């Protein structure tokens, strides 16, 4: 089986003016997936099925984690008119936030393809979910157009994006915002998605792109602390001045806005006695404004 493969990563918005064909709607067909709400519309162009993979695994879900890679494969695309035994499809993709904001757009996913005689024809499009999570909802729209005819096929898929570490309870002062906060397993190089940790591994709490801690000051004077107690109140982690070197001289606010602040969590497995659950707290405070970001959660150590 010969196929055409397309892999597309999500990059910043590219604004474009999309061309349209004059298409008769007399043979328009539509179908909707009752589980995911995915909507397929087409005239003349068809495909056997659309398969979605999340991080390489076939799934039917509308909820992705931040940084997931989502791939759509269009199996056995038919109905394209031929010119000298070749078909000339055009493929585009855009992602819309909250029904009115285009956050990604690319009109030429097959840029450089000078026709194809491959059969069956499979087309692939993928993106990474580097998108704001929370209450925002999204829709990806993928279009296949016949540049030698009037046929088209459109696939619309609604979805939401979750924080990788959703179990983290995050609070912050007024006028303070943060891009993302998550827990990273440094040992296994993966996001921590459930509140269960292994004392043999090293973890990192990550604060990405923090705005507003400094108030009107040009610098942030950070006091960064982490604390971990078991349910009996026995303390096994107590770090009060992880950024002590910056508490007096400060850090330029733009550095905090454009970079990460991290704290590493390690365990002395020979000394720790597992007494679940454990209460974890990480707090970042500006010494001069008292504005803060605080993260709390409950862990189970396995």
Q: Whose structure tokens read 């493969």? A: 5
Please report the pLDDT score of residue 286 as a whole number.
96
| Distance from the first to the final alpha carbon of the chain | 46
Looking at residue 247, what DSSP letter applies? H
How would you classify residue 162: left for phi > 0, otherwise alpha for psi between -120 and 50, otherwise beta?
beta
CB 113 within 8 A of CB 6: no
Please tell me the distance from the alpha carbon of residue 299 to that of residue 183, in angstroms, as a whole number: 12
Please tell me the distance from the alpha carbon of residue 26 to that of residue 22, in angstroms, as a whole number: 12
CA angle 154, 159, 164 (to 5 degrees): 140
Please report the pLDDT score of residue 65 as a whole number.
86
Please report the pLDDT score of residue 10 as a whole number.
39
For the chain, list residues with pLDDT below 70: 1-26, 133-134, 271
Please report the pLDDT score of residue 2 as a whole number.
34
User: What six digits make up the tokens of 43?
Assistant: 């005239």
Please report the pLDDT score of residue 11 as a whole number.
34
Please report the pLDDT score of residue 111 as a whole number.
84
Q: What is the pTM of this model?
A: 0.65
Report the SS3 class of residue 245: helix
Please report the pLDDT score of residue 195 as a whole number.
93
User: What six digits make up the tokens of 25?
Assistant: 């709607």
Please tell me the distance from the alpha carbon of residue 3 to that of residue 69, in angstroms, as a whole number: 21
Please tell me the distance from the alpha carbon of residue 111 to that of residue 36, in angstroms, as a whole number: 30
Q: Whose structure tokens read 């918005």? A: 13
pLDDT tens per residue, range 253-274: 999 998 999 999 998 877 677 8
CB 41 within 8 A of CB 145: no
Please report the pLDDT score of residue 273 as a whole number.
76
Ordered DSSP codes for 121-181:
EEEEEEEE--S--SS--EEEEEEEEETTSS-EEEEEEEEEEE-TTTT-EEEE-TT-EEEEE
Please report the pLDDT score of residue 16 as a whole number.
28
Query: How many CB atoms sit inside 10 A of residue 288's CB?
Result: 15
pLDDT tens per residue, range 30-82: 999 999 999 999 999 999 999 999 999 999 999 998 888 999 999 999 999 99
Please report the pLDDT score of residue 134 as a whole number.
65
Q: Is the dihedral of CA 252, 254, 257, 259 positive or negative?
A: negative
Residue 204 β-bridge partners? 184, 264
Count of alpha carbons within 13 angstroms of residue 203, beta-carbon side: 22
Contacts of 31 (CB under 8 A, 6+ apart): 39, 40
Burial class for 256, CB neighbours closer than 10 Å (0-12, 13-18, 19+): buried
Residue 170 β-bridge partners? 295
């Amino acid at each position: 089986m010969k196929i055409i493969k397309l892999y597309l990563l999500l990059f910043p918005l590219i604004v474009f003016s999309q061309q349209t064909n004059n298409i008769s709607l007399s043979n328009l067909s539509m179908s909707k997936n009752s589980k995911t709400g995915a909507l397929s519309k087409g005239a003349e162009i068809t495909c056997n099925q659309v398969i979605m993979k999340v991080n390489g695994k076939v799934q039917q879900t509308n909820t992705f984690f931040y940084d997931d890679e989502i791939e759509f494969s269009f199996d056995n695309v038919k109905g394209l008119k031929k010119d000298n035994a070749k078909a000339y499809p055009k493929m585009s993709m855009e992602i819309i936030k909250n029904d009115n904001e285009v956050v990604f757009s690319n009109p030429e996913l097959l840029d450089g393809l000078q026709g194809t005689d491959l059969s069956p024809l499979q087309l692939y499009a993928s993106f990474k979910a580097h998108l704001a999570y929370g209450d925002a909802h999204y829709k990806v729209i993928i279009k296949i157009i016949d540049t030698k005819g009037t046929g088209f096929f459109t696939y619309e898929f609604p979805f939401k994006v979750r924080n990788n570490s959703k179990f983290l309870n995050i609070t912050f002062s007024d006028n303070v915002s943060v891009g993302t906060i998550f827990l990273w397993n440094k040992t296994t190089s993966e996001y921590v998605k459930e509140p269960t940790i292994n004392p043999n591994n090293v973890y990192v709490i990550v604060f990405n792109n923090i705005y507003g801690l400094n108030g009107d000051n040009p610098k942030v004077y950070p006091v960064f602390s982490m604390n971990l107690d078991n349910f009996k109140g026995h303390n096994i982690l107590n770090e009060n001045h992880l950024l002590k070197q910056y508490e007096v001289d400060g850090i330029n606010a733009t550095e905090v806005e454009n970079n990460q602040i991290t704290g590493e969590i390690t365990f002395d497995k020979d000394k720790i006695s597992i007494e679940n659950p454990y209460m974890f707290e990480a707090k970042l405070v500006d010494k001069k404004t008292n504005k803060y970001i605080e993260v709390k959660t409950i862990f189970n150590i396995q």
